[in-house]
Amino acid sequence: MDRHHAMKVMVRIADTGGFAEAARQLHMSPPAVTRAVAALEDLIGARLLVRTTRSVKLTEAGHRYVEDCRRILAAIEQAEASAAGSFAKPTGGLTVTASVQFGQMHIMPIMMDFLETYPEVTGTVLLLDRVTNLVDEGIDVAIRIGHLPDSTHRATRVGSVRRVICGAPAYFERHGVPEHPIELARHRVIAVTSAWPSLDWRFGPGGKIVAHVKPALFCNSNAAGIIAARAGWGLARVLSYMIAPDLLDGGLRTILGEFEEEPLPIHVVHPEGRNASAKVQAFVEFAAARLRANRVIT
């Protein structure tokens, strides 16, 4: 039995949910797929699949075995690619994802400069305001803002951003400046529902101070909320990097700085750890250096 090939068969059955489709994709006959699985089960001494007339399901042992197969097959592919020289220099397609506004402001310039430096790489930038699954969606690198869940992905911290309350000078001239988060209940608030769905805004270490706000305007994007705040219409809560240009030109100012929560970390994340290809390693190093040098990111 070709154990390497049998592992591929098991993984394909798990992915497709059936013998027939696995056979079709692998250009094998269904009996050959059945024999490969039977040989594996005999070798291991455990049942890997439960087969009925309507479905194929992995047993508990099968689930563990398939996950091990995925790791082993990935390691083999990386070893073969390394031996063939594809890890020697950055080449091929590179897909990077980030949130929409952060990506537009900071990742697009980095990607363009990276492609100038490594012309044999073709870049794709996916700007999405949702958390992507890097493996399932075929993404090489992600820039994440916020605390990361436990994961097998490799993460490089490059800085942090703050959650801030901002308003235009004209607003403060008309309505005064809140000196405590509780006072926000008496001010005109712009709520960005995609970023802060709760109307209980938390402040201070551990978010122990809770201010219940009563928004007069709801927006589903940070950009829209910032437009309203810049116009002097009300107060908005955003991430500090989003309004950096407005703070520099005086169009907006932040308040309640002494009540801010802990900063949110920014990481460059990729799924391949130390075995990442040259293009991924090069981009992570390139992006990390640029982001750490960015004064907007503390």
End-to-end CA distance of the chain: 57
Distance of CA 229 to CAs 170, 198, 256, Å? 10, 19, 16
What's the angle, vertex CA 183, arms to CA 180 and CA 188, rounded to 5? 130
Q: Residue 47 corresponds to which tokens in the numbers above?
A: 């049942």
How confident is the model at residue 82, as a pLDDT?
66
- At 49-95, the pLDDT tens digits run 988 777 788 999 999 999 999 889 888 877 776 666 555 688 889 99
Residue type at 269 in one-letter notation: V
Q: Residue 153 corresponds to which tokens in the numbers above?
A: 């992905």
Residue 298 has pLDDT above 70, yes or no: yes
Q: Residue 167 corresponds to which tokens in the numbers above?
A: 């308003």
**Region class of 122: left (phi > 0), else alpha (psi between -120 and 50), else beta:** beta
How confident is the model at residue 159, as a pLDDT?
94
The residue-averaged pLDDT of 100-113 equals 95
What's the angle, vertex CA 15, arms to CA 86 and CA 32, rounded to 5? 95
Beta-ladder partners of 212: 200
Closest by CA to 263, choosing from 149, 150, 151, 159, is 159
Provide the whole-model pTM.
0.67
- At 171-211, the pLDDT tens digits run 999 999 999 999 999 999 999 987 777 889 999 988 899 99
